[in-house]
C-alpha cells in the first residue's frame, strides 16, 4: 500500500511542543536540565510508539486515541527518535560541580 500519515491537530500540536522543547534544550538550557527534558521526551515518544503499535490504525483513519492516529510510519519515527533521545540523555556528560571556594584562600 501507499504511505499514509493521517496527521491531526493533536499530532501537530504535539510536534510543535516537541520542537519548542528541543530548541530550548539546544540553545538555552543548561546540560542537567537539557538532559532531563530530552530523557523525558524520549520516554514519551517511545511510549507513543509502543501504544501506536498496540492500537494501530486502519486505511480509513477511523481509529484514534486522544486525537492521535498511529500509522506505521509515525510509529517507526517515534520509536527511532524516542530511542535516540533516551540514549542521548543517558550519554550526556554533565559539567562537574565547581569545588567550594574557601573564604580564607580566595
Which residue in this structure is represented by grid cell 522543547? 21
Residue 106 inside a domain? The answer is no
Residue 38 inside a domain? The answer is yes
Residue 100 inside a domain? The answer is no
Residue 24 inside a domain? The answer is yes
Q: What is the pLDDT of residue 27?
A: 95
Q: How far apart are CA 55 and CA 14, in angstroms?
A: 18
Whether pTM exceeds 0.85: no
The answer on pLDDT for 2 being more than 80 is no
The answer on pLDDT for 67 being more than 90 is no
The structural domain count of the chain equals: 1
Question: Can you give the residue range of the structural domain that contains 16?
Answer: 9-91
Residue 65 inside a domain? The answer is yes
> Residues near 43 by Cβ (< 8 Å), separated by ≥ 6?
82, 86
Residue 85 inside a domain? The answer is yes
Q: What is the DSSP string of 80-98?
A: HHHHHHHHHHHHPPPPPPP
CA nearest neighbour of 88 among 19, 16, 36, 47 = 36
Q: How far apart are CA 36 and CA 16, in angstroms?
A: 19
6-58 pLDDT tens trace: 777 888 898 899 999 999 999 999 989 999 999 999 999 999 999 989 987 77
Amino acid at each position: 500500500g501507499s504511505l499514509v500519515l493521517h496527521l491531526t491537530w493533536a499530532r501537530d500540536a504535539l510536534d510543535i511542543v516537541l520542537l519548542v522543547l528541543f530548541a530550548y534544550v539546544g540553545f538555552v538550557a543548561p546540560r542537567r536540565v537539557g538532559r532531563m527534558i530530552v530523557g523525558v521526551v524520549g520516554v514519551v515518544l517511545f511510549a507513543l510508539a509502543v501504544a501506536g503499535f498496540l492500537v494501530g490504525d486502519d486505511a480509513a483513519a477511523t481509529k484514534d486515541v486522544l486525537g492521535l492516529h498511529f500509522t506505521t510510519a509515525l510509529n517507526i519515527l517515534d520509536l527511532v527518535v524516542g530511542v535516540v533521545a533516551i540514549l542521548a540523555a543517558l550519554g550526556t556528560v554533565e559539567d562537574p560541580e565547581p569545588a567550594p571556594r574557601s573564604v580564607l584562600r580566595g
